[in-house]
């Protein structure tokens, strides 16, 4: 029996600590949870789109509209229960990868629960012990940043990523390196620089960084290739890799040496696996980035991270780093810097329905009435 019901749950959850990047600051998580039901089973996904269109053209409200009026009805009317076929079913809709990824994630969870197998094994995962890194935003002072890093190191995280922007970069990294001379350290600019800043960015080569992530604009693979020729520090691309075609161009141009794969950014688990396979064939290591997801989205990232070429520590941190109470039970835990994917059906965690109801500000039922006309 295929999926016969889709419900969208809009939730708001406060962060334990505000999170700031070059895009701005956020104090709470607004998330759109997608629940698909059929055969007495529920599957859950999470849309990573933020409240505003800054990291991505998508935001919560556009994703809600597209899921309610187009993508959800397309799935209901298709009669399909196969997540591998979903990208083709939704292919008429251009763009909106985060909305598509959320629906596909829910269908993957539903299908794995239906088959009574762990999702990570169902997608071909091999790694049952995942090294975890942590992402730390732009803080009010370097002293506060050092405190946050010290907490992460004490908690056993295997890699620390700090956000940078013009005016909070080379001197900040120098002071961090003085305090932590040997930790695996990387920086993430979220596209805050231009190629003209190359003379400044090369100063980062002094600090033995694992990588510099997305230094230039999300749509500029050519300038990333030019910058890569000047930096010793490997460039990792995040926002620039939205499709398999983007990856092919990046490889041929030499735009990066590492890729951060986010299933939400590329349109779902199916495309994320294909990008993973292409990177592996090209000898390019990958890691799984985060979008400040709640536990439901993070559990899907845990599953993705079990694929063989996710050899670098990802941003899949413990629930407690972000939320006092998460959307899953038990909360996702990091032990000695590692996560073990659960050997339980689906994503391996149960939705905390009581908490989800408590933080829900809207609930939307999806019908099979799609808007097909132009």
| pLDDT value at 244 more than 80 | yes
pLDDT at residue 22 greater than cutoff 90: no
Residue 317 is predicted with a pLDDT of: 86
Calculate the average pLDDT of the chain: 95
Does position 373 have pLDDT exceeding 70, yes or no?
A: no
pLDDT in tens, 28-73: 999 999 999 999 999 999 999 988 888 889 999 999 999 999 999 9
Question: Which of 148, 63, 124 is CA-nearest to residue 305?
Answer: 124
pLDDT for 368 equals 80
Residues 106 and 231 in one domain: no
Determine the length of the chain.
Answer: 374
Same domain, 178 and 284: yes
Q: Please tell me the predicted confidence (pLDDT) of residue 370.
A: 59
Residue 205 φ/ψ region, left for φ over 0, alpha for ψ in the -120 to 50 degree band, beta for the rest? alpha
**371 occurs within a structural domain:** no
Both 30 and 84 in a single domain? yes
309: domain CATH number is 3.20.20.120
Same domain, 90 and 39: yes
Which domain range does residue 206 map to? Answer: 121-351
* Residue 234 domain-assigned (yes or no): yes
Give the mean pLDDT of 261-275: 97
Checking if the pLDDT of 374 tops 60, the result is no
Residues 346 and 356 occupy one common structural domain:
no
Check whether residue 70 and residue 163 sit in a common domain.
no
User: What residues form DSSP beta bridges with 19?
Assistant: 26
Contact 201, 173 (CB under 8 A): no
pLDDT in tens, 96-133: 999 999 999 999 999 999 999 999 999 999 999 999 99
pLDDT of residue 111: 98
- Give domain status of residue 214, yes or no: yes
DSSP codes joined into one string, 319-356 = GGGT-SS-SEESPP--BTTEE---SSSBTSSEE-HHHH
Q: Find the CATH number of the domain harbouring 81.
A: 3.30.390.10
**Structure confidence at residue 360 (pLDDT):** 98
Of 298, 307, 315, 309, the residue nearest 349 (C-alpha): 298
206 and 250 together in one domain: yes
372 lies in some domain: no
The answer to whether position 160 is within a domain reads yes
Maximum Cα–Cα distance across the chain: 60
Helix-strand-coil split of the chain, %, nearest 5: 35, 25, 40
Stretch 338-355: mean pLDDT, rounded?
97
Assess contact for 166 and 139: CB atoms under 8 A.
no
Residues 86 and 126 in one domain: no
Q: State whether 184 and 312 are in the same domain.
A: yes
Catalytic residue positions? 163, 262
> What does the DSSP 8-state code read for residue 315?
S
- Is 213 part of a structural domain of the chain? yes
Neighbouring C-beta atoms of residue 114, cutoff 10 Å: 17
Please provide residue 163's backbone torsions phi and psi, each rounded to the nearest 5 degrees: -80, 145
Nearest-angstrom CA–CA distance, 122 and 109: 10
- Total structural domains within the chain: 2
Reported confidence tier of residue 148, pLDDT bands at 50, 70, 90: very high
181 by Cβ neighbours in 10 Å (0-12 / 13-18 / 19+) ranks as exposed
User: Do 332 and 223 belong together in one domain?
Assistant: yes
Q: How far is it, in rounded angstroms, from Cα 179 to Cα 144?
A: 12
pTM: 0.94
**Does 75 reside within a domain?**
yes
The answer to whether residue 32 sits within a structural domain is yes
Give the residue ranges of DSSP H helices in the chain: 60-66, 72-78, 86-89, 97-115, 119-122, 142-154, 170-179, 198-201, 221-228, 244-253, 263-266, 269-281, 295-304, 353-359
- What is the pLDDT confidence band of residue 254, given thresholds at 50, 70 and 90? very high
Residues 65 and 158 in one domain: no
Give residue-wise pLDDT tens across range 93-103. Answer: 999 999 999 99
Same domain for 99 and 133, yes or no, is: no
DSSP structural state of residue 234: P
Number of H helices, E strands in the chain: 14, 15
């Amino acid at each position: 029996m295929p999926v016969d019901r889709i419900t969208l749950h809009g939730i708001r959850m406060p962060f334990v600590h505000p999170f700031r990047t070059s895009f701005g600051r956020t104090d709470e998580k607004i998330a759109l949870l997608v629940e698909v039901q059929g055969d007495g089973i529920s599957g859950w996904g999470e849309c990573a789109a933020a409240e505003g269109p800054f990291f991505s053209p998508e935001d919560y409200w556009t994703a809600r509209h597209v899921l309610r009026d187009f993508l959800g009805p397309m799935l209901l009317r298709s009669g399909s229960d196969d997540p591998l076929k979903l990208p083709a079913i939704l292919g008429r809709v251009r763009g909106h990868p985060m909305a598509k990824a959320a629906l596909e994630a829910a269908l993957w969870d539903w299908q794995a629960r239906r088959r009574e197998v762990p999702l990570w094994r169902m997608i071909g995962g091999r790694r049952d012990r995942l090294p975890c890194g942590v992402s730390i935003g732009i803080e009010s002072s370097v002293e506060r940043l050092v405190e946050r890093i010290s907490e992460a190191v004490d908690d056993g995280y295997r890699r620390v990523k700090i956000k940078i922007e013009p005016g909070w970069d080379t001197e900040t990294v120098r002071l961090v390196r003085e305090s932590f001379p040997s930790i695996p350290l990387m920086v993430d600019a979220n596209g805050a620089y231009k190629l003209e800043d190359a003379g400044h960015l090369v100063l980062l080569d002094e600090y033995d960084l694992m990588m510099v992530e997305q230094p230039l604009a999300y749509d500029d693979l050519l300038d990333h290739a030019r910058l890569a020729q000047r930096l010793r520090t490997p460039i990792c691309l995040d926002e620039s890799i939205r499709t398999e075609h983007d990856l092919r161009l990046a490889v041929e141009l030499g735009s990066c040496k590492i890729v951060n794969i986010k299933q939400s950014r590329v349109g779902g688990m199916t495309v994320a696996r294909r990008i993973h396979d292409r990177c592996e064939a090209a000898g390019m290591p990958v890691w799984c980035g985060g979008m400040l997801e709640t536990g439901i989205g993070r559990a899907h990232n845990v599953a993705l991270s079990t694929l063989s070429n996710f050899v670098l520590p990802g941003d899949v941190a413990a629930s407690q780093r972000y939320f006092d109470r998460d959307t899953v039970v038990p909360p996702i835990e990091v032990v000695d810097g590692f996560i073990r994917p659960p050997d339980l059906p689906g994503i391996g965690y149960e939705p905390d329905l009581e908490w989800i109801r408590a933080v829900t500000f809207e609930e939307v039922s999806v019908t099979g009435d799609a808007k097909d006309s132009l």
